[in-house]
Each structure stands twice: as C-alpha cells, then as structure tokens.
Amino acid sequence: MKAAERRVQLLEVARRVFGTSGFHAVSMEAVAKEAGVTKPILYDHFSSKKDLYLALIDADLAVLHDSVRQALDSPIGNRERIRASFEAYFDFVDEEADGFRLLMQETVGAERDFRERVEKVREQILSEVADLIVRESRGNLDRVHAETVAAALIGMVETVAQRDPAASPERRKAAVDTLVRLAWRGITELSV
C-alpha cells in the first residue's frame, strides 16, 4: 500500500477507535492492532497519539467546513441556502458519526490544542454565515447582530443534531424542515 493510502486507512481506523473510546482511553498500540499494522508503521505516519488525533480533527473539520461553505456559496435563494447548510451539517453527522463525536467531545474536552482547533473552524463558519447575513440583509442587520444570529443558527443545528444522531432519514428531514422554517421566519423579520 502506498504511503498516502496507508495514511488514509490509518485515519479511518483511528477515527473509529477514538470515536468509540475517546482520546485518553486509546493507545497507539490499539490503533495499530485495529489497523492490522505494527506500531512502527503507525509512527512512520504520525509521530504521537496527539499528532494522530490532531490529524483526525483537522480532516473532519475540513470536511464539515467545506460542506457548509459550499452550501453557503451556492447560487440558490436564501431560504434554500439555509436548508442546504443545515443539510450539510446533518449529512456530516450521519455520514461521519465517529468524526462528529470526536468534534463534539473536543468542544468541551480538557486538551487545549483540540478545543482551539474546533473553535477556530467554528469561528470561521460563524464569520462566513455572518458575512452572508450582512450581505443579504441589505443594511437591515449590522455585523454585531449578524454574528449573534449566526451563532444562534449554528448552535441550533448542533444541538438538534446531537440530540438524535442516529435518527432515520425521515426524522432528519423533518428536523431540517422545522429548523429551516424557524430560521427563515426569524431571519426575515429581523432588523436593527
């Protein structure tokens, strides 16, 4: 197996192992065993357990951020842009369940490096959502208010997604529909 392919394989296995047991309960030996490789091979790709875990967090954050950014940048109307960004988040939760668990654990985790990585991307997403709100409100909302709305939207979606991460597709769709109606009605009535 080529080095790049091996790295992807090791990240996938590590995501599953860490997602099940958490950072502190997992050893490099456990990841290597689960991946069917020796510890030296694992260490060839990642210098430490922390390095491996940071690579996982970075990869998962990149997937989530890219999905949300694509939804926000899409040329569809604002209501559908809201729907697409909410769906992107829920899709990440459904398709990357272990990665989602890692990110949510690290928002309150003890490791500063992990929290800061998650917070940095959250702030980037919040800024992009606020930019869109300011632009599309055509002067009805200033930056401070737009950031408050963006934080509320992000928190709302995260909370609902965490509430029932194994929901059926029908239940997920119903949740997104409800959130879109709530967000749309709220946003369209806002002004400073």
Q: What is the mean pLDDT of residues 163-168?
A: 79
- CB atoms near residue 77 (< 10 Å): 10
CATH code, domain with 178: 1.10.357.10
Any residues with CB less than 8 A from the CB of 62 and at least 6 apart, and which?
none
- Of 29-43, 65-79, 105-119, the range with the highest mean pLDDT is 29-43
Shared-domain flag, residues 87 and 19: no
Give the per-residue pLDDT at 3.
85
Share the mean pLDDT of the chain.
Answer: 88
End-to-end CA distance of the chain: 58
41-45, 103-107, 163-167: which range is least confident on average?
A: 103-107
Give the per-residue pLDDT at 65.
94
Shared-domain flag, residues 105 and 169: yes
Give the per-residue pLDDT at 107.
65
Shared-domain flag, residues 111 and 64: yes
pTM to 2 decimal places: 0.84
Shared-domain flag, residues 136 and 81: yes
Q: What is the mean pLDDT of residues 63-83?
A: 89
- Alpha helices for the chain (secondary structure H): 3-21, 28-35, 39-45, 49-73, 78-95, 97-107, 112-137, 143-163, 169-188
For the four alpha carbons of 15, 16, 17 and 18, in that order, the dihedral sign comes to positive
Shared-domain flag, residues 116 and 27: no
pLDDT tens profile 93-104: 888 877 887 777
What is the pLDDT confidence band of residue 185, given thresholds at 50, 70 and 90?
confident
Shared-domain flag, residues 155 and 70: yes
Shared-domain flag, residues 10 and 71: no
What is the pLDDT confidence band of residue 108, given thresholds at 50, 70 and 90?
low
CATH code, domain with 15: 1.10.10.60
Q: What is the mean pLDDT of residues 42-64?
A: 93
Q: Is the pLDDT of residue 38 over 90?
A: yes
What is the pLDDT confidence band of residue 165, given thresholds at 50, 70 and 90?
confident
Shared-domain flag, residues 31 and 116: no
Shared-domain flag, residues 145 and 78: yes
Give the per-residue pLDDT at 21.
84
Shared-domain flag, residues 41 and 59: no
Shared-domain flag, residues 159 and 130: yes
Q: Is the pLDDT of residue 50 over 90?
A: yes
Residue 16 structural domain: 1-47
Q: How many domains does the chain have?
A: 2
Give the per-residue pLDDT at 99.
80
Q: Is the pLDDT of residue 106 over 70?
A: no
Structural tokens at position 41:
């091979």
Shared-domain flag, residues 90 and 181: yes
